[in-house]
Structure 1
Amino acid sequence: MPAPDRTSLPEIVTAASALLEERGLDGVTMQAVAERVGVRAPSLYKRVAGREALLRLVAERAFADLAERLDAARGLPELAAVYRAYGHARPAAFRLIVSPGVGVPAVDVSYAAAASAAVRRLVRERLGVSGVRELEAARTVTAWATGFIGMELHSGFNLGGDLDAAWDFGLSLVLGGLDAVAGAGETSPQARGSSVREKN
């Protein structure tokens, strides 16, 4: 009779994800994962091709987890808070998906698209528009939040002060800018350029 399987792919990815948070990217090795799930390292290759494939699976799960959390948010302030909480709770996973760095395998764009769907939806609701402006606005919100969280995780704010207050202030500026655009009924930059040319 064949020997029973002692582990599964989901268990392997869970172990690798935990090691990522505990030891960083360099700590996610096939040997370390094998020890964590209680098998010999060669046994892992029955489930996953190698470390590169494993890191891709870890990133895909992180994206999926983040997408699920963001999708439950009601409004951009709550979404931003959920995004920040994820970065603080899973800093290594956050870094892996927002700035993977050299040597980290690329994840299919569909995972990033799924994670960004909620911000695009909530931006569209706030602006009342779609298309180019929706994407531009979503990128603005995401870039500001990602930059702020990234600086927090890397101890980049070293001048003192209340970081929660700074987050609230920055978010109010970003959202206020979106509200101003929505109130002005502006169209895309391309359309504004066309309008100027027509007037001239």
Structure 2
Amino acid sequence: MPTPDRTSRDAIVLAARELLETDGLGGLTMNAVAQVVGVRAPSLYKRVDSRDRLIQLVAEATLTELSVLLDGTSDLAEAARTFRDFGRQRPAAFQLVMTPGPGTPSAGAEFGAAASAPILRIAAQLAGEQHALAAARMFTAWVSGFVSMEINGGFQLGGDLEEAWEFGVTGIRTAITASR
């Protein structure tokens, strides 16, 4: 008689996402996930065949969540705030998908495309279809860099960080619309 399933892939990915935030990528192990979901580590392999695949699933779930959040945005400032809020609330997940280290498993391209679609839409409205991809890349690079520096304590020169944020959002918008 086969043993009953004691967990699901969704529960495993959810546990892994929580561990990522509390223990970082190094603490995201099959043993740690198994402990959270209440099974032995070998049981996880029925649902996820490796740690690398688990990290990929976490990245895909992260981009899916970010895609849903961004899909509701209608302008550049709102999209920037959404990115920033997400990064502040889920810093490890943000870094996993926006600034992964060398060799870190990444999400499938379709997940990145889905998360990029709202930004491309807004960029096309501001810069025109011809420059939409370049504008979306510029926006994403700036937001990702700013938020990564913010969550890693990289701003060491003092000053008003909110003022810097607003200055940057305004500058990015100005640069994108100037290309039209």
CA RMSD of aligned residues (A): 1.1
| Paired positions, count | 180
1:149 alignment counterpart: 147
User: Is the 2:97–2:106 Cα contact (8 Å) retained in structure 1?
Assistant: no
Q: Give 1:73 shift.
A: 0.6
Q: Give 1:176 shift.
A: 1.2
Q: What is the CA–CA distance in structure 2 between the aligned matches of 1:162 and 1:39, rounded to whole Å?
A: 48
Q: How does 1:58-137 map to 2 (within 5 A)?
A: 58-127=58-127, 129-131=128-130, 133-137=131-135
TM-score (norm 2): 0.96
- Which secondary structure state, in structure 2, belongs to the residue aligned with residue 67 of structure 1? helix
- Which one of the candidate residues 131, 136, 139 is aligned to 1:138? 136
Q: Give 1:177 shift.
A: 1.6
Q: How does 1:1-200 map to 2 (within 5 A)?
A: 1-127=1-127, 129-131=128-130, 133-182=131-180
Q: Give 1:50 shift.
A: 1.2
Residues 147-178 of structure 1: CA deviation (Å, up to 9, x unaligned): 11111011111111111111001110110122
> Which entry has the higher C-alpha Rg, 1 or 2?
1
- Which secondary structure state, in structure 1, belongs to the residue aligned with residue 179 of structure 2? helix
Q: Give 1:40 shift.
A: 0.6
Q: What is the CA–CA distance in structure 2 between the aligned matches of 1:3 and 1:107, rounded to whole Å?
A: 31
Q: What is the CA–CA distance in structure 2 between the aligned matches of 1:78 and 1:87, rounded to whole Å?
A: 14
Q: What is the CA–CA distance in structure 2 between the aligned matches of 1:25 and 1:179, rounded to whole Å?
A: 38
Percent identity over the alignment is: 48
List structure 1 segments (4+ residues) > 6 angstroms apart after TM superposition.
none
Q: Give 1:61 shift.
A: 0.4
Where structure 2 has 5 or more consecutive residues not aligned to the other structure, the ranges are none
Where structure 1 has 5 or more consecutive residues not aligned to the other structure, the ranges are 183-200
